Structure 1
Amino acid sequence: TYKGNAYDRQSVILTESMALHLFGRTDCVGELYKAYRETVFTIVGVMKDYPANTELKFNYLLLAPPGYDGFNRRLETYVRVKPQVNIAALKKKIESYKMKVENDKVYTYSDWHIHLRALPEVHIICSPELNTRFRNIRILAVAGLLAFASALMNLLSLFIARQQRKSRYNGTFRTMGASGRDLAYRYLWELLLPLFLAFVLSMVLLEWLYPFYRDYTALEHYGIFDQFVHHLPKARLMKAALILYPLSCILFLSAAMLPVRLLVKTNPSASSGIWKDILIAGQIMVGSLFLVAAIVFYQQYRFTQTSDKGLVTDRIWQINTGFQAAYEKDLNRYVAALKQSPYIEEVTSMTIPVLSSIGDFYCSYITDLDIHREKEGTVDDNVLAVDSNFRHFFGIRMKSGRWLDPASAVKEYVVNETGAKMAGIDDDLLGTIHLDGKKSQEAFRIAGILSDYHYCPLQYPLDKVFFTVLSQKEKAEMYMTTPYIYIKIRPEQEERALTYARQLYTDYEKGEVAPGEQIRYLPDIMEELNASEIKMSRIFLTLAVICILISSVGIYSLVALSTEQRKKEIAIRKINGSKFGDILQLFFRKYLWLNVAGNAVALPAGYYFLHKWLETYAYHVALSGWVFLSVFLITLVIVLIAVAQQV
């Protein structure tokens, strides 16, 4: 470091990436770093980049004594525990401490706890989208295990059918001195070839699905951290598959040992019939579970793609200049130049993106508006500073009241529909002038209620957001900039407008935004909000279709085989005058109960897990009874067709 580590609030340590970005080198100790317009730090060191999968993202470390954060009412403290410490007991002890502060009308301090968390746990808590990914990956893992079980049941059922046809050879082998164990090992050996073929097919499927899985599990950062893109390499995935293949073979052969040993008995017909019934019910259970899950997943998939998001994005492009450029450049000149273009219909600017990948902190600043709060338990009000044409630009509808009037002598706010419900704001309160006692009796009023628009993925709930128009003086006093500029291009003028915008962009950027993120089409950004969920749905639906086909073939084959083995009985009944309907009813009754048994397990389990899965979405489809009834009828039709063809 340079002249020691002075904790004087004037020295900083840069990350390696930030040093390369600013100076093109890392030997920049002693240089000056201008963070804001009038804020300059001395660089006293350069540190290695932090891991890409951490929530502790920063450009520099300010060397200063830690202080209490009065706004957030908390102070993060990092501790290194001794190796022999019982972490679980330490967590429990720390969380048992209570705040020795009296509760007030705003905060219930008695409910507050101090938490001890490992850094990976903090990373997950601070990144709610990772929780969603881990949840979905667990769903895929369970689906994969069920697919594995379905395929093995199918293979075992076909194997049993084949060995039943060869049962007459068992007596011959016994007379030649073969024991039951020898015959069992012989049958198990015949299973290895189908298992190998299944492994080859699974590798082909893995090769096809890997791009979807890679895109879904990738961790990406932008700007100067654009190179931090991490995902599971294909080589590791293939290695895991090679390890799992012999383990799955051992597992299946061990599970198959009992029915195989029963087959080599002298009279295996009774026991094999029981095993076939169990396999039929199992195939129906797995098939029904996948079918009901596939239908609901597809419904949510379509809901995500087609539901009204509340704003119009056609012909709108987002320009991201970067925060550093917004502080150092006069972006008002850029906005004015864009407005002069004959190819651009309208321009608006924002302090944050209009669409966010997370649902928290969708605001320009947080304040405390002194309004009625009988229906609300918090005083934090998210305020989004926008231009006066914001609502018209994005085509957002008013729920009630009117939009902001920038010429109003009284400070005005518009609240979104969700915020109005949270704060207890109704139409009677609109237009009423309030005095904010916390801001020197500043007068303000709520002008209207804006219809909700989805600024984040559908799994996150919308928060309370107040909208206001700030003057240039107010923005300067709050050190507020508008690095996000939105342009609405005139029809059939896209190429000319974008060329013009890019030519001007070079005069107002500092190289901190990756080229692919500088100017983007807003519908593409909106599609990316739910892209991870859509990719996951595609993976699951692909897996579900394969498993449904496997289960359907298995159900059909087992029922057809069981019915075929009673051909003599069917022929005798026909000779004695039995009609087709009578015979069908006789044989179908048994499989009806097997269908009921399989669905009795699958449908309640499917309802429970799908209900839990849909609860992770703030906005989702409703589970309908017709879905479960349809699944039951579909499996019933498959069984009926299999029986009818043999009768």
Structure 2
Amino acid sequence: MLSHYIKVTFRELLKYRTQSIISIIGLAIGFTAFILGGYWLWWETHFDNFHPEADRLYCLTTEGLVKRANGTQADLDQLHINDREELFKLLPEIEASCSFNHLSFTLQQGNEAINLHGMESGQSFFNLFQADFIEGTHKGIVPDGSSVILTKRTAHKLFGTTNCIGKEVVLDNNLRPSVAGVIRDYPDNTDLLFDFLLIRIPQPNHVKRMTTYVRLQKNTNMTNVRNKLTLYKSHAEDKWDREQVKNWKINLLTASEVHLRCHPELTDRIRNIHILALAGIMAFLSALINQLVLFIGQQQRKQQKNRTYLCVGASTTSMVMKGFTELAFPLMIAFLIAFCLIESLYPYYESYTAWNRYGIYENVSRHLSRTSLFSNTLSLAGISILIFLFICYYPIRNLLEHKIRKPALFKQSLIVVQIFIGSLFFIISLGLFRQLHFILSKDKGIDYERVIQVDLGYSTAHQTNLSVLKPEMVNHPYIEGVTYTCGNAPVFTEQGDWYGSFYSHFCFDPNESEPNSYNPVVVADKDFFSFFKLQPISGNWPTAANPYSYIVNETCLQTLGYTNLLERPIYIKGQASQAKVCCVIKDYFYAPMQYPILPLFFTTYDNPTVKDFERPYLIYVRYAKGHKKEVLEHLREITSHIQNDNVNRNKMFTELSDLVDLFNRPEKVIFTIFSILSLVCILISTFGIYSLVSLATEQRRKEIAIRKVNGATFYHILQLFFREYFMLVALGNAFALPVGYLVTKRWLETYANHTTLPAWLFLLVFFFTSGIVLLSIFRQVKRAATTNPAEIIKTE
């Protein structure tokens, strides 16, 4: 019987092949987006949940030291040692604790440099965190730094095997621990990134902070614990009041929350994940509704045939099973296509979703598990079919038994839902497109075309005076100019919450009290400003006559609150210094648009106050159009003698336009995905509406015929239908447009620099959906109205 049902279902799919193909493709694409977005969201929100008793594992974090791109406070996963002692007294609910610090070493193995990242911690680490030993043990190890635990990956990297107990690891000349054990690698969704674990009592860093995790007792009242932390005032030392300790707040975050709240750079990533997951769910739901619409249309056209089945002895249960087959079969085909799509998209998906850390973990990348993705896909496909059939059971039964009391209302509700989803997708897509166009077309205020960034490494800069390379580099017929910046101050940065070579306090009032605010300073070559064609608003560029001069940007001038800073002396301890502001320049965008422009100070490398501790680090070369290859060869030859173990030579030369494209990559990807899903949803909605209108006109053929006999024209009949469906379009848009506005507005607010949503966009969406419905109605009504009324009345 099942094989018979499948044959009948297959014939129905062929009969309505256009709509069936659209429905199945929509289901496949919607399910694919739903799985990829949903799994990514699950992965990001389940970091470090694999540790034993993870539900009681928390990190003590400090809020008030780090900001997100939108200016809100993030958390730092570190705790001042004074606060650690006080909090342990304040919270008797703490059952166990562990503190650790991060370490980084570069090992030389033959001709290969191996970067190892690790942690130093005592035996308490093994009481809180997972450690599956393959070889050796941690028991009995003295925490004096003479022993180290390696991960499986590191053991193979250093020794080619995990059987390396007792072997020496030369971390540096003074630190040569022996291997005491090898543990299994952690999954990629962890914030505990280490290649080795040095068993040593951790010492606080230079600002007296360490990462501290605690495990609370069972049945702890978390409300009471958090209330205590709310009232707690930090005991951190800050004699200069530079870090604003009075504004610090100590938080207790779960291991998974640490990932989301202690990494400000993830804000945009999480935003895009939510958009992708939401779009996938909506597209999938739209396709499911369309599948239900197609099924309803088919069943209502087969009313006489279904009555015949029941009359000749078919049970309601068998008819429901037949209906289930007609619903489930297209779903299975769609899920099979979705598996193929996921398989083909996985390499790109893995690359796009990879989490690349920065700082000492700059070259560490984390990837989503392929095995877990496909196992979850298989599970969700089965669950989706069961849930959908369960929800549809009573509507199918009532439809087959003709018990739906208000079938017109039911069909109209389906139309409204499809219009809602289609309009919502359309308005959000327009918002995404406007912001993407704004990002791509907005003048950055800096000329970065045909400029190559040469990264010679921070450590190399402090060993070699790289400024001497400038004359050698510029000595080439196809090089139009060379400049450089000092310290960790690239021209473009992905981390726009911090920008500059260093921070310093600038006092323009001799009566100002102790300094309590600091501004970033960019130290650059004297030709930096003309090289990048930065535009002065007032004043003049620094000269050799006054090497102590500073330049400020527009934002800095506004932030400081002075109408004019030119030639105003900078005071040090109440005394006027030689340093003055000589120029104000226009703001330029140095980071992605979601970051606000910081108040910046600029000074040249000739400034004696910075020359002693800042070094040229990044060199910028502008090449003549069409001669990039020759210039790159020239640069490689000049820098070939520089030994830099911390910078991959393949990444040493980067074109600035490529960096800008990298900044815009998330927006481009999200817009592309959303546009595809929007197109699919609009097509699905169009065919769903077309199917229901077709069904309505078939069921009202006699009414149309009688109206024609009584003198109604085609346009009168068209107006009758359009008035009815226009109300449905208006109702669907009445819900979709406000929701779309709120979603898009909230998304745009994540950018410090964003476009607007004019009213005409919403009118465009409304007229577009109205046009789709009108075209659907026009064809069906025209076909019904051109039929001979006598033939219709005679057949009824």
For 2:593, the equivalent position in structure 1 comes to 458
The 5-angstrom pairing of residues 251-400 of structure 1 reads 251-266=387-402, 268=404, 270-351=405-486, 352-371=489-508, 379-400=517-538
Shift of 1:533: 2.6
The answer on 1:117 being equivalent to 2:253 is yes
Deviation at 1:338, TM superposition (A): 1.1
How big is the shift at 1:75? 3.9
C-alpha distance in structure 1 between counterparts of 2:102 and 2:401, whole Å: 78
Aligned equivalents of 1:79, 1:587: Cα separation in 2: 66
In the TM superposition, what is the alpha-carbon distance from 1:494 to its structure 2 partner? 2.4
Offset at 1:223? 10
Tell me, yes or no, if the aligned pair for 2:542 and 2:549 is still in contact at 8 Å. yes
CA distance in 2, matches of 1:31, 1:213: 36
Counterpart of 2:550 in 1: which secondary structure?
Answer: strand
Contact 1:50 1:57 in 2 (8 A): no
Supply the distance in 2 between the matched residues of 1:15 and 1:260 (Cα, whole angstroms): 63
Deviations 1:569-609 (A, max 9, x none): 11211121112222122111111111111111111111111
Q: Which residue of 2 aligns with 1:417?
A: 554
CA distance in 2, matches of 1:529, 1:508: 29
> Structure 1 counterpart of 2:540, which letter?
R
- Cα deviations across residues 191-233 of structure 1 (Å, max 9, x unaligned)? 2221122223323443454444323211235899676333224
> Are the aligned partners of 1:327 and 1:481 in contact in 2 as well (CA < 8 Å)?
yes
Q: What secondary structure does 1:617 align onto?
A: coil
Whether the 8 Å contact between 1:413 and 1:468 is mirrored in structure 2 is: yes
Contact 1:417 1:451 in 2 (8 A): yes
Match of 1:579 among 710, 713, 723: 713
Worse-matched range after superposition: 251-260 or 45-54: 45-54
1:499 and 2:633 matched = yes
Is the counterpart of residue 558 in structure 1 residue 692 in structure 2? yes
Q: Hey, what's the Cα distance between the residues in 1 that align with 2:677 and 2:529?
A: 43
Provide, for residues 104-152 of structure 1, a one-character-per-residue CA deviation record: whole Å limited to 9, x for no partner: 9998765432233355544443432312212211221111111111001
Of residues 285, 295, 312 in structure 2, which corresponds to 1:159? 295
Work out whether 1:146 is the aligned partner of 2:278: no
Matching residue of 1:39? none
SS at match of 2:578: strand
Query: CA contact under 8 A between 2:241 and 2:516: conserved in structure 1?
Result: no
Deviations 1:419-474 (A, max 9, x none): 22222133x33222343326x64232222221111111111111111111132754
CA distance in 2, matches of 1:67, 1:235: 39
Pick aligned residue for 2:379 from 231, 243, 250: 243
Cα deviation digits, residues 478-528 of structure 1 (max 9, x gap): 2x2222111111334322221111012121232321132111111111111
Asked if the contact 1:217/1:231 (under 8 Å) is kept, the reply is yes
Identity of aligned residues (%): 35
Other-structure match for 1:4: none
**Cα drift, residue 13 of structure 1:** 9.6
Residue in 1 that maps onto 2:673: 539
Q: Which structure's residues are more often strand, by fraction?
A: 2
Using the TM superposition, give the Cα deviation of residue 340 of structure 1 relative to its aligned residue in structure 2, in angstroms. 2.6
Q: Is the 8 A contact 2:552 2:585 kept in 1?
A: yes
- TM-score w.r.t. the length of structure 2 is 0.71
Instruction: State the Cα distance separating 1:326 from its structure 2 match.
Output: 1.3
Contact 1:417–1:449 (Cα < 8 Å) also in 2:
yes
User: Conserved in 2, the CA contact under 8 Å of 1:209 and 1:539?
Assistant: no
Is contact 2:535-2:586 (8 Å) kept?
yes
1:232 corresponds to which letter in structure 2? L
SS at match of 2:252: coil
Q: Report the AA paired with residue 367 of structure 2.
A: H
Residues 1:588 and 2:725 aligned together: no
Please report how far the alpha carbon of residue 335 of structure 1 lies from its aligned counterpart in structure 2 after TM superposition.
2.3
Q: Secondary structure at the match of 1:483?
A: strand
CA–CA distance in structure 2, aligned partners of residues 332 and 59 of structure 1: 37
Aligned-partner Cα distance in 2 for 1:175–1:82: 68
**How far, CA to CA, are the matches of 1:234 and 1:577 in structure 2?**
66
Distance (whole Å) between structure 2 residues aligned to residue 356 and residue 28 of structure 1: 39
Cα deviation, 1:220-275, whole Å, max 9, x if unaligned, reads 3589967633322444333222111111111211222222122122465x533222
Stretch of structure 1 that moved more, 284-293 or 481-490: 481-490
Matches within 5 A, 1:587-606: 587-606=721-740
Find 2:578's aligned residue among 418, 443, 446: 443
Aligned to 1:514: 648
* 2:367 is equivalent to residue 231 of structure 1: yes
Secondary structure of 1:116 counterpart: strand
What's the CA shift for 1:556? 2.3
Q: Secondary structure at the match of 1:288?
A: helix
Go from structure 1 to structure 2 and tell me whether the alpha carbon gap of 1:551 and 1:531 turns closer, same or farther (over 3 Å shift).
Answer: same
Paired residues of 1:103 and 1:110 also in contact (CA < 8 A): no
Contact 2:355/2:367 (8 A) holds in 1: yes
Per-residue Cα deviation, 1:508-555 (whole angstroms, up to 9, x for no partner):
232321132111111111111222232222222222222222122212
Q: What corresponds to 1:190 in structure 2?
A: 326
Q: 1:442 to 1:116 in 2, by over 3 A?
A: farther
1:584 and 1:643 in contact (8 A); partners too: yes
Do residues 489 (structure 1) and 623 (structure 2) align?
yes
Is the CA contact 1:413–1:467 (under 8 Å) kept in the aligned structure 2?
A: yes
Distance 1:118 1:267, change over 3 A: closer
Counterpart-to-counterpart distance in 2, 1:325 and 1:103: 34
**Alpha-carbon distance, 1:401 to partner:** 2.7
Q: Any conservation in 1 of the 2:460–2:644 contact (CA below 8 Å)?
A: yes
Distance 1:119 1:536, change over 3 A: same
How many residue pairs get aligned? The number is 617
Give me the TM-score of the superposition, normalised by structure 1: 0.86
| Secondary structure in structure 1 of the residue aligned to 2:249 | coil
What residue is the counterpart of 1:200 in the other structure? 336
**Contact 2:556/2:601, CA 8 A, preserved across alignment:** yes
Instruction: Give me the whole-angstrom Cα distance separating, in 2, the residues matched to 1:423 and 1:216.
Output: 40
Q: SS of 2:175's equivalent? A: strand
Structure 1 Cα separation of the partners of residues 177 and 428 of structure 2: 55
Q: Which amino acid aligns with 2:696?
A: S
Q: Does 1:477 align with 2:477?
A: no
Q: CA deviation at 1:76?
A: 4.5
In the TM superposition, residue 645 of structure 1 has moved relative to its aligned partner by 1.4
Q: Distance in 2 between matches of 1:342 and 1:104?
A: 52
**Aligned AA (1:341):** H
- Shift in Å, 1:58: 11
Q: Is this contact kept in 1: 2:446–2:532, CA < 8 A?
A: yes
Secondary structure of the corresponding residue to residue 453 of structure 2: strand
Q: Is contact 1:563–1:646 with CA below 8 Å preserved after alignment? A: yes
The separation in 2 between residues aligned to 1:68 and 1:23, in whole angstroms, is 26
Equivalent position SS for 1:444:
strand
Unpaired runs of 5+ residues, structure 1, are: 1-11, 34-41
The change in CA–CA distance for 1:362 and 1:55 in structure 2 (over 3 A counts) is: farther
Change (3 A) 1:535 1:30: closer
| SS of aligned partner of 1:454 | coil
Deviation larger for 391-400 or 597-606 = 391-400
2:482 aligned partner, one-letter code: V
Which of 128, 133, 146 in structure 1 is aligned with 2:269? 133
Report deviation, 1:342.
Answer: 3.2
AA partner of residue 533 (structure 1) = E
Alpha-carbon distance, 1:164 to partner: 0.6
Q: How does 1:69-88 map to 2 (within 5 A)?
A: 69=207, 75-76=209-210, 78-84=212-218, 85-86=220-221
